[in-house]
Amino acid sequence: MRTLLFTRMLLIKKQAFSTFIWLVMPLVLTTVLIHWMTDVVEDGQVPVAIVDEDNSELSKAFIQELQQIDLLNIQLMSKQKALYALEKNQIDSVFIVKRHFEKQLRNNKRHHLIEAYSTNRSYFYFAVKENISSLAQRKATQAKAAHEVKKLLNKYESDIHWSFDQIVAEGEQREERYELLTVDFSFYNESSTPTKKDVLLSPWGIWAFFALISTFYLLDWIIKESNHPVVVRWLQTKISYTTYFFNTLGFYLLFMFGIDFLTYQLLETKFVWFEFLAIVIFRLSCVALALFVAVHMKHTLSYHFITPIITLLLTFLGGAFIPIEQLVVKWPLLSGISPVYALLQWDVSLIWSIFIVLVCIYVYRKESSRFA
């Protein structure tokens, strides 16, 4: 083993920098792109000032729900500071939660709850107003429902004594439980159920794209060394070329798995073994594919030319760039074409697991017969 490592270090000495770059490239570029996309999203948010004159529990909850709207950058300010920022065009519009906001809602009064200010440069004012108005209307509707429930409880002299807040909380729980705004439908005896919203350009989709490219370029040593004239000298050595070949491949895999483990720790907040297993199988799939292509190539130029084509094809078919959930429902076999799809679903692809084993057997026999 020491001799093999020494031989590998001699061969990799002139390519140490490029090898290191290809190893860390998926992690570095994925991190950079994620931060860049985060900045783009934040820059694309509409700056809106909120003035909380009521400062009640209900007004604070209302503002917290506004802050969860992705397209709005809610900034809490005083009225004087907010109007000054609006005059300087630092924000798009100002919305003031009036005094007695909570008291009026509890008393089933909906008028003059929120006051709005805008200028002729408030380009997103109407869209923002609709979002805030709809949320305020929802709060008002919940308050009205709570009043009606209390009336019914009093009318029928019920033993249940619920407060206003308890009724509103129960109503919100029922909305989440029964998904009142979600509709299932059937069309020509084919049922359709709501599916989870697809995330476009997920971090792991980006990483999968760069991981495929880096794996291919890391394994170009197979072509360079297997087709070199000096390879015939393995006939005169104690160690067979097949042993050297697979030990070198294992040497590269250890470094890849180490970088993958670090990547998973940085991108995910909680470590889940099955998810990391999906990453390991994905990496092995990439290595098996690169290995299968490399043993059939004699020139690195052709190998480097076909690498981007295979990478783009697999990432597109895997749903890294565009959602393919509807296509997978229609053609289930599509989910097994690309290892990227299994990775994004945190699943282990049976097809690619079999492919890994078959490629290892095929390459072992091919390399063993080279100097037989």
DSSP secondary structure, 26-53, as one string = HHHHHHHHHHHHHHHHHHTSEEEEEEES
Ramachandran angles phi, psi of 112, nearest 5°: 55, 45
Name the amino acid, one letter, at 106.
Answer: R
pLDDT confidence band for 25 (50 / 70 / 90): very high
Ramachandran angles phi, psi of 92, nearest 5°: -85, -40
Which residues, at least 6 apart from 281, have a Cβ–Cβ distance to it below 8 Å?
A: 339, 342, 348, 349, 352, 353, 356
Query: Any idea which residue has 């360079």 for tokens?
Result: 224
Report CA dihedral (95, 98, 104, 108) to the nearest 10 degrees: -20
Tokens standing for 151? 């009336």
3-state secondary structure (DSSP) of residue 343: helix
Of the two residues 117 and 151, the one the predictor is more confident about is 117
CA distances from 362 to 42, 355, 368 (A): 50, 10, 10
- Residue 260 confidence (pLDDT): 94
Q: Is residue 19 a contact partner of residue 11, using CB atoms and an 8 Å limit?
A: no
Q: Is residue 203 a contact partner of residue 267, using CB atoms and an 8 Å limit?
A: yes
Instruction: Tell how strand 114-117 and strand 185-187 pair up.
Output: unpaired
- Residue 181 confidence (pLDDT): 47
Kindly tell me if the per-residue pLDDT of 154 is higher than 90: no
pLDDT confidence band for 355 (50 / 70 / 90): very high
pLDDT confidence band for 45 (50 / 70 / 90): confident
Mean confidence (pLDDT) of the chain: 80
pLDDT above 90 as % of the chain: 26
Report the C-alpha gap between 49 and 83 in whole angstroms.
9
Tokens standing for 225? 């060394």
CA distances from 142 to 52, 138, 158, 172, 353 (A): 20, 6, 21, 8, 53
Instruction: Tell how strand 46-52 and strand 93-97 pair up.
Output: parallel
CA distances from 283 to 25, 138, 345, 356, 372 (A): 14, 48, 15, 10, 31
Report the C-alpha gap between 128 and 139 in whole angstroms.
17
Of the two residues 312 and 245, the one the predictor is more confident about is 312
Q: Please tell me the pTM assigned to this model.
A: 0.65
**Strand arrangement, sheet containing 114-117:** 72-76, 46-52, 93-97, 114-117
Nearest of 370, 368, 365, 336 to residue 353 by alpha carbon: 336
Q: Give residue-wise pLDDT tens across range 82-122.
A: 999 998 888 889 999 888 888 887 777 777 788 899 888 88
Within 10 Å of residue 303's Cβ, how many Cβ atoms? 21
Q: Give residue-wise pLDDT tens across range 166-199.
A: 666 666 666 555 554 444 444 444 444 444 444 4
